[in-house]
Amino acid sequence: MNEDYLWDKSGEPDPEIQRLENLLSPLGNKTPVLSFPKHNRVPYLWAIAASLLVLAGGAWMTWQKSRPAWAVNGAPATKRLAKGETITTDSQSHARLNLNDVGEVELDPNTTLSVLAMKPDEQRLALNHGTIHALIWAPPGRFVVNTPSAQTVDLGCQYTLKVDADGAGLVDVTVGWVAFENDGRESFIPAGAACMTRPGKGPGIPYYTDAPGELIGALQRFDADADRAAIAAIVEKARPRDAISLWHLLRRVQPDDRGRVYDRLSQLIAVPSGVTRDGVLAGDPKMIDSLWNALDLGNTSWWRMWKSRGPK
Amino acid sequence: MESVIALFGTVDREPEPTLVKQAREGSRVAFGQLYQQYSRMVHGLLLARVPHSEVEDMVQDVFLLALRRLRSLRDDKAFGGWLAMIARNQAVDYHRRAPRITELKETMLQETPPSPEAHAVLDTIRSLPDAYRETLILRLVEGLNGPEIAEQTGLSPDSVRVNLHRGMKMLREKMEGKAAT
């Protein structure tokens, strides 16, 4: 496959990609212009309505409206959600929060969500319990959701976050990336992967949701109790795609166990030059970063940059 | 550690802030230009999720909805990602209210309908994870290249590159698997 041609159509055309282009292009957009309805004067009506509202409203209303707030749809008697406020859905209701420069957050039934911060560079919510579905288009690092055991940092993505009655969380990422972070422990979760977080333990090890059940079970046993017996199953069941789980595991096992995790990881990925077994076993951060880069998921430099500019 | 541009998430860009501003002030010419620039992206995101026969009307719906909401968009640089969000939400709403019986539309009666093989490949792409199917449809169906996909959707170029590479690999594996059976 010609990667250049796939990326920007430069270089020698790839015959297979060209065939697909020719085959599929009839399904593409064929409408060159937008048809405006003749009666579509909504923007002007909005402007007039807004003006009347301002004139009719009192100072209190004006102040209320000027406060930054999430717009809310779906929850009875709630239209805006500002810093310090909380929304709760009952067993039958959903709600959708929207903030134009940030994204949308949908609440499932039986969910409680609070707004902790509304700043230009930080939108922070707290999910006490329940389930939210977030679709975020704000720049990476600006949208954060606190849970009882970790904070979820959006890195430009779409994800579902659940918190159960015990305060344990589960994030399932559909698009982009999410970082789970608590007390110095980090987990980086790409699209197609999920990760748990537990009170008192923090973020667990991420795993692809299509991973073998035995692998997921073993990872969860390790997360829950640092079960050393689970390491053998993790190492045995890991596929090449699961190298991301091994990379996280490498940073969390005891030094005595690090060797067998590294050995399996080195079978699944191309170990970069300059990375040595002894160095990794000694916990050399540069070598561990280099191993991440070999996962073919992007460069660790990005994480460093994000951390240096993200919300504090 | 060497400095590298954001690889995974969205990045700040200036898509068409002047056009967005003019459109917000009521210029339909400007909004029409935004439509011309972004309609393939919107069409592709919808096609990744809803039947082909529904997409054309829904593209119009997405832009008209965007026009109505444009005054509430505070950061003009976020227009592409904001518009993509509206398109994805419209697709979600479509499935929530999807009727059991589909109305016959002119778009179903094209003079040269796409081949059954095209629909079969499209179905295979739709079976891929969201990130891959969106990117592959924008590249293979809508004809956008990688940098254009990144610019219009708000995704980082490297994220798009990874999605294209992996999506194409998965697509090939699935097509080979079907051919073998």
- pLDDT per residue over A43-98, tens digit each? 555 555 555 555 555 554 555 556 678 888 775 556 788 888 888 888 878 888 98
Q: Is there a domain that residue B30 lies in?
A: yes
Contact B140 A24 (CB under 8 A): yes
**pLDDT above 70 coverage of chain A, percent:** 81
Contact A31 B56 (CB under 8 A): yes
- Residue B110, pLDDT score: 44
Q: Global pTM?
A: 0.54
Q: Is the dihedral of CA B58, B61, B65, B66 positive or negative?
A: positive
Asked if residue B106 and residue B17 are part of one domain, the reply reads yes
- Residue B10, pLDDT score: 36
CA distance A201 to A208: 21
Asked if residue B168 and residue B128 are part of one domain, the reply reads yes
What's chain A's average pLDDT? 83
Among B50, B81, B110, identify where a domain stops.
Answer: B110
Contact B172 A16 (CB under 8 A): yes
Where helices occur in chain A by DSSP H, the ranges are 3-8, 15-24, 42-56, 59-66, 213-225, 228-237, 243-250, 255-268, 277-281, 285-293, 300-309
Residue B25's domain comprises 13-110
- What does the DSSP assignment read for A97-150? EEETTTEEEEEPSS-EEEEEEEETTEEEEEEEEEEEEEEE-SPTTSEEEE-SS-
- Residue A203, pLDDT score: 94
**pLDDT above 90 coverage of chain B, percent:** 30
Asked if residue B155 and residue B168 are part of one domain, the reply reads yes
Asked if residue B122 and residue B99 are part of one domain, the reply reads no
Phi-psi region of B31 (alpha: psi -120 to 50; beta: other; left: phi over 0): alpha
Average pLDDT score over residue span A226-249: 94
CATH 2.60.120.1440 placement within chain A: 67-204
Asked if residue B46 and residue B29 are part of one domain, the reply reads yes
Query: What band does A13 get if pLDDT is binned at 50, 70 and 90?
Result: confident
Q: Out of 1.10.3720.10, 3.30.460.20, 2.60.120.1440, 3.40.190.80, select the CATH number for domain A67-204.
A: 2.60.120.1440
Average pLDDT score over residue span A266-295: 92
* Interface with A, mutate which of B8, B40, B111 (most A CBs under 10 A): B8
**CB B144, CB B150: distance < 8 Å:** no
The CATH code of the domain that includes B17 is: 1.10.1740.10
The CATH code of the domain that includes B125 is: 1.10.10.10
Average pLDDT score over residue span A269-292: 92
Residues listed for chain A: 312
DSSP B3: -
Among B110, B139, B160, identify where a domain stops.
Answer: B110
Contact A174 B130 (CB under 8 A): yes
Asked if residue B175 and residue B102 are part of one domain, the reply reads no
Asked if residue B133 and residue B82 are part of one domain, the reply reads no
CA distance A285 to B33: 49
CA distance A265 to A248: 11
Residues A157-198: tens digit of each pLDDT? 789 999 998 889 999 998 878 889 888 888 999 888 999 999
Residue A304 has pLDDT above 60, yes or no: no
- Residue A35, pLDDT score: 63
Count of structural domains, chain B:
2
Q: Is there a domain that residue B2 lies in?
A: no
Contact B44 A27 (CB under 8 A): no
Average pLDDT score over residue span A87-115: 87
Residue A311 has pLDDT above 50, yes or no: no
Q: Mean pLDDT lowest for which of A91-105, A135-149, A290-304, B103-117? A: B103-117
Q: Using CB atoms, pick whichever of A7, A31, A46 lies closest to residue B161.
A: A7
Q: Is there a domain that residue B141 lies in?
A: yes
Contact B89 A104 (CB under 8 A): yes
- Residue B125, pLDDT score: 94
Which among B119, B173, B142 has a CA at the least distance from the CA of A21? B142
Asked if residue B82 and residue B51 are part of one domain, the reply reads yes
- Residue B42, pLDDT score: 95
Average pLDDT score over residue span B58-87: 87
Among B70, B92, B110, identify where a domain stops.
Answer: B110
Sort out which chain A residues have CB atoms less than 8 A from B130's CB and list them.
Answer: 158, 174-175, 191
Residues B104-159: tens digit of each pLDDT? 444 434 444 567 788 889 999 999 988 899 999 999 999 999 999 998 888 888 88
Asked if residue B118 and residue B72 are part of one domain, the reply reads no
CA distance B7 to B162: 10
Q: Six-digit token pair at B103?
A: 């109305």
Strand partners, A129: A112
* Interface with B, mutate which of A4, A19, A100 (most B CBs under 10 A): A100
Q: Is there a domain that residue B99 lies in?
A: yes
Asked if residue B63 and residue B31 are part of one domain, the reply reads yes
Average pLDDT score over residue span B28-34: 82
- Residue B143, pLDDT score: 93
Q: List B residues 12-51 in contact with A (Cβ-Cβ < 8 A).
A: 12, 26, 28, 31-32, 35-36, 39-40, 42-44, 47
Maximum Cα interatomic distance, chain B, rounded to a whole number of Å? 58
A116-130, A288-302, B61-75: which is most confident: A116-130
Q: Is there a domain that residue B3 lies in?
A: no
Sort out which chain A residues have CB atoms less than 8 A from B172's CB and list them.
Answer: 1, 16
Query: What band does B41 get if pLDDT is binned at 50, 70 and 90?
Result: very high
Q: Is there a domain that residue B1 lies in?
A: no
Asked if residue B97 and residue B122 are part of one domain, the reply reads no
The residues, any chain, with a CB within 8 Å of residue B174's CB and separated by 6 or more, are: B124, B127, B128
Residue A300 has pLDDT above 70, yes or no: no
Q: Is there a domain that residue B143 lies in?
A: yes
Asked if residue B164 and residue B127 are part of one domain, the reply reads yes
Residue in chain B nearest A193 by alpha carbon: B129
Query: What band does A136 get if pLDDT is binned at 50, 70 and 90?
Result: confident
CA distances from B78 to A102, A136, B85, B148 (A): 9, 11, 11, 15
